[in-house]
A = this chain, B = another copy of it.
Amino acid sequence: MPAAGLTIAEAAATLGLTSDTLRYYEKDGLLLRPVPRSSSGHRRYDESDLRWIVLVTRLRATGMPIRDVRRYADLVRAGDGNELPRLELLQAHREQVLQQLAEVTSHLGAIDHKIGIYEDRLRRLEISA
């Protein structure tokens, strides 16, 4: 009978994280619950753990600080009744991300312009060579 759930190494590979990071997230209160253990005390991640950690990685990858992920996890862990603060937290993050995207896009435009200048210059050097 195979054990239910993934080992920490399997979960890490699936999620694109390291085992160390998974332990760190758990210790830091980013997960909804202590990950269940096998009889020998090893972590076993089930589907709901993985689904949550995927969300955590999305929040992290869009620049949300650990401390805000923890605040969000705290809210979800607290159960029903605080949907509004959860929504507000996500909406605030969304605004941040949009602003960040706009800023980066605009800077990228300027960098692209500079790239164009170098390309022109190099084309001309090539021709005159």
Contacts and interface: CB of A to CB of B under 8 A. Distances in A.
A110 to B, nearest CB: 5
Contact of A114 (B90, B98, B103, B110): B90
A58 B101 contact: no
Nearest to A105: B101
B90 A118 contact: yes
Q: How large is the interface on A (under 10, 10 to 19, 20 to 34, 35 or more residues)?
A: 20 to 34
A3 interface: no
B55 A104 contact: no
A15 interface: no
A13 B83 CA distance: 41
Interface string A93-113: 110011011011101101110
A127 interface: no
Interface of A: 55, 58-59, 61-63, 83-84, 86-87, 90-91, 93-94, 97-98, 100-101, 103-105, 107-108, 110-112, 114-115, 118-119, 121-122, 125
